């Protein structure tokens, strides 16, 4: 098929582009090559080099409809990956995030609605961030979908979710697609808006769509210089630089990490799906790891002498736990994670060890958040 991938030179996009090309599809990528992802010399970045000469590449802003419309005319499947990511940064770069994430998608949908085309499927990369804290269970009151944790509780070291009805500690359970959506950052709000736009417009113009709520994606190729890219890359760079690690809260906050190859597989399955309605699926491993476990594992893997400190600091907008219910995508798309966390983290660490060591400006990003009252 002829497939257009917006943001196809990024971490997920580059892996996806290469795999689709291997499978015989004609892939076109449109990407602006953001310096935050690709560095000061974007065309020399490993991500871009991985797709160079393998796909039809167009360097452009997604909001340039004069360039986007002709690409859509020749396309059968559109995979929309363009996004500014990072919950913390989104809280103060409001215009940039909303322009790229919401206006950028609106431009794409405008082109789909007004350009003669043969598009059969639209796949949107969404995020588990739309759930906020997600799904919990209280022994007394059953399933709950909590609001953001109260700052006064966080200051007191009360990090776990409390039932809003009885005040007892609630238990994290896998979050399914029918769970309430309660975004806790501008990035998450952008993603929910993206989902609403695609769901509404795709039905209006008659193009089936699938919304994929990615969990914490990791693997070789993930930026080691972007301080907003995720804790695996952040911790890896800090440990290799010999910097101590400051673990927020009590270190027991947890995330569902899903390996890049599994994310690529899930996305391709979504492209090939024959369903003619809008569908939404979680893409994750269905398991979770604590932040402290991750830090200690990486310290051992890199043979680092850095000190790990659990500080009790916290960031506004962070969630407590995250684990995905992936029963729907298993049933309907026959998706099953193939890479265990143990195998995936080994591959990731081996890759990191072969990369150049550069400061990812993580400390600078923390100072910026602290100055704005987002880190306490």
Cα distances (angstroms) measured from residue 4 to each of 10, 117, 170, 200, 245: 14, 12, 43, 21, 40
Residues 156 and 257 both lie in one domain: no
Residues 268 and 242 both lie in one domain: yes
pTM, full prediction: 0.96
Residues 152 and 109 both lie in one domain: no
Q: What is the pLDDT of residue 364?
A: 85
Residues 187 and 266 both lie in one domain: yes
Q: What is the pLDDT of residue 230?
A: 86
Q: What is the pLDDT of residue 317?
A: 86
Alpha-carbon span 304 to 235, nearest angstrom: 11
Place of tokens 């690690």: 245
Residue where a domain stops, chosen among 120, 144, 173: 173
Contacting residues for 255 by C-beta, under 8 A, at least 6 apart: 215, 216, 231, 288, 289, 291, 321, 322
Encode burial over 262-297: b for 16+ CB neighbours within 10 A, e otherwise: bbbbbbbbbbebeeeebbbbbbbbbbbbbbbebbeb
Residues 17 and 156 both lie in one domain: no
Q: 197 is written with which tokens? A: 């736009």
User: Which residues in the chain come in under a pLDDT of 70?
Assistant: 360
Residues 96 and 150 both lie in one domain: no
| DSSP for residue 215 | -
Q: Which residue, among 151, 155, 84, 146, has the nearest Cα to 312 in the 3D structure?
A: 155
Half-sphere exposure of residue 133: CA atoms within 13 angstroms, side-chain side? 22
Residue where a domain stops, chosen among 173, 189, 223: 173
Based on the structure, what is the number of domains in the chain? Answer: 2
Place of tokens 């090559």: 33
- Residue 76, classified by CB atoms within 10 Å of its CB into exposed (0-12), middle (13-18) or buried (19+), is middle
Residues 307 and 181 both lie in one domain: yes
Q: What is the pLDDT of residue 359?
A: 75
Residues 312 and 270 both lie in one domain: yes
Long-range contacts of 198-204 (CB under 8 A, 24+ apart): 198/80, 198/105, 198/109, 198/122, 198/124, 198/278, 199/278, 201/109, 201/112, 201/113, 202/122, 202/278, 203/277, 203/278, 204/113
Strand 257-259 and strand 216-218: the pairing is parallel
Q: What is the pLDDT of residue 368?
A: 87
The catalytic residues are 187
Residues 216 and 338 both lie in one domain: yes
Residues 224 and 260 both lie in one domain: yes
Q: What is the pLDDT of residue 120?
A: 95
Residue where a domain stops, chosen among 144, 173, 202: 173
- Find the domain containing 14 and state its range: 2-135+174-371
Residues 223 and 270 both lie in one domain: yes
Residues 122 and 240 both lie in one domain: yes
Q: 53 by DSSP, 3-state: which?
A: coil
Q: Tell me whether residue 275 is in a domain.
A: yes
Q: What is the pLDDT of residue 369?
A: 85
């Amino acid at each position: 098929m002829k497939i257009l991938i917006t943001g196809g030179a990024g971490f997920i996009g580059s892996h996806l582009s290469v795999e689709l090309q291997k499978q015989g599809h004609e892939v076109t990528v449109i990407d602006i090559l953001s310096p935050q992802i690709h560095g000061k010399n974007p065309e020399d970045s490993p991500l871009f080099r991985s797709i160079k000469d393998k796909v039809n590449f167009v360097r452009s802003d997604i909001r340039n409809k004069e360039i986007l419309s002709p690409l859509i005319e020749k396309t059968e499947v559109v995979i929309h990956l363009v996004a500014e990511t990072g919950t913390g940064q989104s809280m103060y770069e409001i215009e940039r995030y909303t322009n790229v994430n919401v206006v950028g998608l609106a431009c794409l949908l405008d082109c789909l609605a007004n350009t003669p085309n043969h598009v059969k499927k639209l796949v949107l990369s969404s995020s588990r961030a739309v759930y906020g804290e997600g799904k919990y269970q209280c022994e007394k009151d059953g399933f709950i979908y909590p609001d953001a944790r109260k700052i006064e509780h966080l200051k007191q070291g009360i990090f776990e979710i409390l039932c809003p009805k009885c005040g007892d500690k609630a238990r994290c359970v896998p979050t399914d697609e029918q769970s309430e959506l309660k975004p806790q950052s501008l990035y998450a709000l952008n993603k929910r808006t993206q989902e609403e736009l695609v769901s509404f417009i795709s039905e209006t113009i008659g193009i089936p769509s699938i919304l994929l709520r990615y969990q914490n994606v990791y693997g070789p190729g993930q930026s080691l210089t972007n301080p907003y890219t995720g804790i695996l890359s952040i911790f890896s760079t800090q440990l290799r630089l010999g910097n101590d690690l400051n673990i927020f809260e009590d270190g027991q906050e947890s995330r569902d990490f899903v390996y890049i190859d599994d994310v690529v597989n899930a996305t391709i399955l979504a492209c090939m799906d024959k369903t003619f309605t809008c569908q939404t699926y979680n893409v994750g491993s269905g398991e979770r790891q604590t932040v402290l476990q991750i830090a200690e594992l990486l310290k051992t893997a890199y043979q680092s002498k850095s000190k790990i400190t659990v500080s009790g600091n916290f960031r506004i907008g962070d969630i407590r736990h995250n684990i995905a219910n992936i029963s729907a995508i298993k049933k309907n798309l026959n998706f099953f994670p193939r890479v265990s966390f143990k195998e995936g983290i080994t591959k990731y660490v081996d890759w990191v060890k072969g990369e150049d060591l550069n400061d990812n400006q993580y400390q600078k990003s923390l100072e910026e958040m602290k100055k704005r009252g987002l880190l306490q």
